[in-house]
Amino acid sequence: MITPGSSDAIRVAVSAVIFSLRSGANGDRLMLPLVRRTRDPYLDAWALPGGWLDPAEDLDAAASRTLAETTALTPSYLEQLYTFGDVDRSPTRVVSIIYWALLRSDLVDAQRSAAGAPENVEWFDVDDLPPLAFDHRRIAEYALWRLRNKVGYSWIGAGLLPDEFTLTELREVYETVLGRRLDPSNFRRLLEGSDELVPTESFRTGKHRPARLFRLAEKA
Amino acid sequence: MITPGSSDAIRVAVSAVIFSLRSGANGDRLMLPLVRRTRDPYLDAWALPGGWLDPAEDLDAAASRTLAETTALTPSYLEQLYTFGDVDRSPTRVVSIIYWALLRSDLVDAQRSAAGAPENVEWFDVDDLPPLAFDHRRIAEYALWRLRNKVGYSWIGAGLLPDEFTLTELREVYETVLGRRLDPSNFRRLLEGSDELVPTESFRTGKHRPARLFRLAEKA
DNA sequence: GCAAAAGTGTTAGAAATACACCCATGC
DNA sequence: GCATGGGTGTATTTCTAACACTTTTGC
């Protein structure tokens, strides 16, 4: 039991697990940004970006703000993940509402050169995370599980790419996220049977036969 | 903007959407318990059972307590649903962590005759809910959507039945929850291909050919 | 014996998978 | 023309749905 003190109030925080593709050693890797803590507890440890919920702020807005404070960008996808609130997850009682988000790779890079990379923020490979503060390791792994799950039955993965993309680019995103090879022709069939992705009249020219560009359909 | 007053604190509540099968006019119906409010706001309106999160209590424990206070029972299934926290969902700032639960029909009835039905609690057909306080209508509908969804790909529906049940009883649960007829032989095939349900050596005798009883497998 | 529910078998169609092959472009 | 990635076609398997049929019990 916690002895009631001057303040037994429960504080509400909002954090986000933000995924984006960033070029690594061998091809693109799925990565997420972490923030180095500047206070106790867990001073100097890596943690998920987040902050206190403002009393005048909706939950989604708080998640967007949190995300903007670290990346200066609006996410291409944002969804509430889960609320973590075990008594012992922090020295003081904190209930953390966690969101997960996807960022378009092209915009992340654009921001980096523009506003200048924020201090204390670094991107890490999801398969090679450093030790994390609080229960953030568990949270990050749960978010990753949810992403992989959702990618298995939706076209949400397109949120990691620019507005227009080739079929191969999209397939490579799915291969990176899922960690296995996908058959190009079957992947194409799936896409063509869906009404969430639509072909454009543009083509990407490169070394070989130009590839048709696709984009996400306008929401009905 | 909210003008900061003597307390701009954010309070954390935990509520539950509790489903159970109860016999109605034509067969069993999916129902949930609501509590009549005894305070403003929404005095006398129906609301989901819930209460304030205790600073020394885990979220799951708070959900169980909430559930026990209305039904005096432990759920056969309990899962966090979503956290609702819009600024305007209540006159004061309240973040509500919602759980959803399943109750075995046999135990609910046993309790009713034992402890005596709690005051101010009534069961309602999920398809015929009264006007609800706050945003509880939306919450109840979201929980129902999640239940129907999960029933579509899992054997969670067995949580609405006693320990042992016939295949037909289970199928009828699924038909009630999903609101459509299911083919008995295909339903059997699904069950037999699963390792989550195991046959027992017992049979239910009745008017006709005895039916084998099944039960949920022990968790691995 | 007969009605009713338990349980089995069979077939048709849809969807996932594997893989062979043709097409258009840069060099 | 040839290497390379873009794109098409097709056979195989697996899953799902529909439904005909047999078995076992109470009365």
Residues B197 and B124 in one domain: no
How much is the pLDDT for A105?
A: 87
Q: Which of B82, B83, B93 sits opposite A55 (nearest CB)?
A: B93
Distance A96 CA to C1 C1' (A): 70
8 A C-beta contact, residue B10 and residue B51: no
In the prediction, which pLDDT does B27 show?
78
Residue A187 forms part of a structural domain: yes
> Same domain, yes or no, for A23 and A72?
yes
Q: Does residue B148 lie in a domain region? A: no
The reply to whether B161 and B111 lie within a common domain is: no
Residue A32's DSSP bridge partners are A124
CATH number at residue B23: 3.90.79.10
What CATH number corresponds to the domain at position A171? 1.10.10.10
Are B202 and B125 within one domain?
A: no
CA distance A16 to A18: 6
> How many beta-carbon contacts under 8 Å exist across A and B?
65
**Is the same domain home to A117 and A166?**
no
Q: Could you tell me if B183 and B94 lie in one domain?
A: no
The confidence score (pLDDT) of residue A6 equals 39
Provide the pLDDT for residue A142: 98
B177 and B109 in a common domain: no
CA distance A128 to A170: 24
Q: What is the rounded distance in angstroms from the CA atom of residue B213 to the CA atom of residue B198? A: 9
B130 CB closer than 7 A to any strand C atom: no
- At A116 the pLDDT is 59
What pLDDT, on the 0 to 100 scale, is given for residue B4? 39
Last residue of a domain, one of A151, A178, A199: A151
Q: Are residues A175 and A126 in the same domain?
A: no
Separation between Cα atoms, residue B144 and residue B59, nearest integer Å: 21
In a domain, B3, yes or no: no
A50 with A127, same domain: the answer is: yes
User: B52 and B97: one domain?
Assistant: yes
**Chain D: bases < 7 Å from a protein Cβ:** 3-10, 16-20, 23-27
* Chain C, protein-covered positions (CB within 7 A): 3-10, 16-20, 23-27
Find the CB nearest A87 among B9, B12, B56.
B56
Q: Which residues pair with residue A83 across a beta bridge?
A: A97
Kindly state whether residues B113 and B173 are assigned to the same domain.
Answer: no
Over its length of 220 residues, how does chain B's per-residue pLDDT go in tens digits? 334 333 568 999 999 999 999 987 667 899 999 999 999 999 999 999 999 999 999 999 999 999 898 888 889 999 999 999 999 999 999 999 999 999 998 888 666 666 656 778 999 999 999 999 999 999 999 999 999 999 999 999 999 999 999 999 999 999 999 999 999 999 999 999 999 999 999 999 988 999 999 999 987 6
A7: left (phi over 0), alpha (psi -120 to 50) or beta: beta
Task: Report pLDDT digits (tens) over A56-90.
Answer: 999 999 999 999 988 888 899 999 999 999 999 99
d(CA A213, CA A168): 10
Residue B146 within any structural domain of the chain? no
Residues A144 and A166 in one domain: no
* Burial of A27 from C-beta contacts in 10 A (0-12 / 13-18 / 19+): exposed
**Ranges in chain A, pLDDT < 70:** 1-7, 25-26, 109-117, 220
Q: What is the domain extent for residue A169?
A: 161-216
pLDDT at A2: 38
Which chain A residues touch B87 with a CB distance below 8 Å? 55-58
Of A129, A151, A173, the last residue of a domain is: A151
Query: What total of structural domains would you count in chain B?
Result: 2
In a domain, A206, yes or no: yes
Structural domain includes residue B92: yes
Whether residue A100 is contained in a domain is answered as yes
Does some domain include residue A5?
Answer: no
Which among A130, A151, A172 is the end of a domain?
A151
Chain A residue numbers touching B55 (CB-CB < 8 A): 2, 4, 8-10, 87, 93
A208 CA to D1 C1' distance (Å) = 15
